[in-house]
């Protein structure tokens, strides 16, 4: 392989103060380590990863990185430098041309970073991403300013750091002092290390507020979307009465092409409306005989699937049935439970209630049943 990235995950992360190393904490639904690994592989230039971790974490790391092009995790040492050396020695038996060294606590590698590093290695044995220091620097002593440190020419080093493999391996083998990063070892050996532009997004998670900042940056904002639906069906004899997925015994039912579940139809229209995807007739036209006498649960499952396909979630749904009969209250709990099941939503997000028209209009005369529904969806912005 031409280029292997060492994914450094052997640190304890004691400064963070969590119950486990920070690289294993959850970030936007996945471990920080997984984010860092995927970031290294997102742009072309890395053939495979070699994780380096604490000896007792190798199975955990392998599980977190399952499905990615990874070599078996290597046990790290007592220091970061020893851990990098351990990874390099494993690779030495079949050395790649280039090696990257990346902190597992850096979940974002901005696009173009690896390409810039690889390009620099054509002329230099090492290259690192770095950003100019913009803050005024003070050296302190005993809680007081001792001096102001000139910031001209100062940079903040980031990872991944890139090296010609043989140059980095030899620098590690020759080192007799502890270095804070791998570039320092090449400096000590008199080798040139190039600087490529770093990025503010390339944050190393060190403190809890860093994790919160990355969570906000990686989490797609969810925008509320409101939809409403309304439907009417005529009451007739000889048809089953199905309302909100519940069959209610009686001599009258609702007339329609499908099972005429007026509550589900209104709810489907509310969902499709919130998604700006038309109405139930667009998806299930009454002219299509395959929907003759169909269970309307099929329609609501489809609407729920459309929410999921858009990356959304149902915040709540509210259905109002408008009729003189049948009485809805005895069946309302069963209706809520049925809707919650079909939508894959918690019961406390589903409301079913009823009202009358005080005997006015077609519902008041018992000629039909109407339903209206409102939903709130949360969709990625």
Tell me the pLDDT tens digit for each residue of 129-145. 999 999 999 999 999 99
Query: pLDDT tens for residues 249-285?
Result: 989 999 999 999 999 999 999 999 999 999 999 999 9
Quote the percentage of the chain above a pLDDT of 90: 86
Report d(CA 249, CA 252) in Å as an integer.
9
* Mean pLDDT, rounded, of the chain: 94
- Res 222 pLDDT > 90: no
Both tokens assigned to 194: 């190039």
Give mean pLDDT, residues 116-141. 96
Task: State yes or no: pLDDT of 98 exceeds 90.
Answer: yes
Query: What would the mean pLDDT of 281-307 be, rounded to a whole number?
Result: 91
The CA distance from 353 to 372, in Å, is 10
Distance in angstroms (rounded) separating the CA atoms of residues 9 and 63:
14
Q: What is the pLDDT of residue 128?
A: 97
What pLDDT was estimated at residue 174? 95
User: Of 22-26, 167-171, 191-195, which gets the smallest average pLDDT?
Assistant: 22-26
pLDDT of 216 reads 83
What's the distance, CA 205 to chain centroid?
18
Q: How confident is the model at residue 121 (pLDDT cuts 50, 70, 90)?
A: very high
pTM: 0.64
Q: How far apart are CA 146 and CA 151, in angstroms?
A: 15
In the prediction, which pLDDT does 293 show?
Answer: 84
Backbone Cα Rg of the chain: 31
Is the per-residue pLDDT at 233 higher than 80? yes
For 316, counting Cβ atoms within 10 Å of its Cβ (0-12 exposed, 13-18 middle, 19+ buried), the class is middle
Q: Give the per-residue SS3 of the chain.
A: CCEEEEEEECCCCCCCCCCCCHHHCEECCEEHHHHHHHHHHHCCCCCEEEEEECHHHHHHHHHHCCCCCECCCEECCCCHHHHHHHHHHHHCCCCCCEEEEEECCCCCCCCCHHHHHHHHCCCCCEEEEEEECCCCEEEEECCEEEEEECCCCCEEECCCEEEEHHHHHHHHHHCCCCCCCHHHHHHHCCCCEEEEECCCCCCCCCCHHHHHHHHHHHCCCEEEEEEEEEEEEEEEECCCEEECCEEECCCEEECCCCCCCHHHHHHHHHHHHHCCCCCHHHHCCCCCHHHCCCCCHHHHHHHHHHHHHCCCEEEEEEEEEECCCCCCHHHHHHHHHHHHHHHCCCHHHEEEEEECCCCCHHHHCCCEEEEEEEEEEEEEC
Give yes or no for a contact between 49 and 33, defined as CB atoms under 8 angstroms apart. no
pLDDT of residue 283: 93
Find out whether 161 and 196 touch, Cβ atoms under 8 Å: no
What pLDDT, on a 0 to 100 scale, did the predictor assign at position 287?
A: 87
pLDDT tens readout for residues 33-43: 999 999 999 88
User: What's the rounded mean pLDDT across residues 84-98?
Assistant: 97
Average pLDDT (206-223) is 86
Task: Label residue 219 by pLDDT band (50, 70, 90).
Answer: confident
Assess whether pLDDT exceeds 80 at residue 200: yes
Residue 228, pLDDT > 80, answer yes
């Amino acid at each position: 392989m031409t280029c292997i990235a060492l994914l450094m995950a052997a640190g304890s992360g004691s400064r963070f103060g969590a119950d486990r190393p920070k690289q294993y904490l959850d970030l936007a639904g996945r471990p920080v380590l997984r984010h860092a690994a995927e970031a290294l592989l997102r742009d072309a230039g890395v053939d495979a990863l070699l994780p380096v971790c604490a000896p007792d974490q190798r199975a955990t790391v392998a599980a977190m990185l399952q499905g990615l092009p990874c070599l078996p995790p290597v046990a790290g040492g007592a220091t970061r430098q020893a851990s990098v050396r351990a990874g390099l020695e494993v690779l030495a038996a079949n050395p790649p041309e280039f090696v990257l060294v990346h902190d597992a606590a850096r979940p974002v590698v901005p696009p173009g970073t690896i390409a810039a590093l690889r390009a620099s290695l054509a002329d230099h044995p090492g290259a690192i991403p770095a950003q100019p220091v913009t803050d005024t620097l003070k050296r302190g002593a005993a809680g007081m300013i001792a001096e102001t440190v000139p910031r001209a020419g100062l940079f903040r080093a980031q990872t991944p750091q890139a090296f010609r493999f043989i140059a980095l391996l030899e620098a590690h083998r020759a080192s007799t002092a502890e270095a804070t990063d791998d570039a320092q070892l090449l400096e000590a050996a008199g080798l040139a290390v190039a600087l490529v532009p770093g990025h503010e997004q390339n944050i190393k998670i060190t403190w809890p507020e860093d994790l919160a900042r990355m969570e906000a940056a990686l989490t797609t904002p969810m925008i509320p979307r409101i939809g409403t639906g309304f439907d009417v069906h005529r009451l007739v004899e000889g048809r089953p009465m199905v309302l909100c997925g519940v069959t209610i015994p009686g001599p009258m039912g609702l007339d329609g092409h499908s099972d005429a579940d007026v509550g589900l139809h209104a709810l489907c229209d509310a969902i499709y409306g919130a998604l700006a995807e038309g109405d139930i007739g667009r998806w299930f036209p009454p002219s299509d005989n395959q929907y003759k006498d169909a269970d309307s649960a099929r329609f609501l499952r489809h609407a729920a699937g459309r929410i999921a396909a858009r990356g959304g979630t149902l915040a709540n749904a509210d259905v109002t049935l408008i009729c003189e009969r049948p009485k809805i209250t005895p069946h309302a709990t069963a209706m809520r439970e049925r809707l919650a099941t079909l939508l894959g939503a918690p019961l406390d997000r589903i409301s079913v209630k009823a009202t009358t028209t005080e005997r006015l209009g077609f519902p008041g005369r018992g000629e039909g049943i109407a339903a209206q529904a409102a939903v709130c969806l949360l969709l990625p912005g």
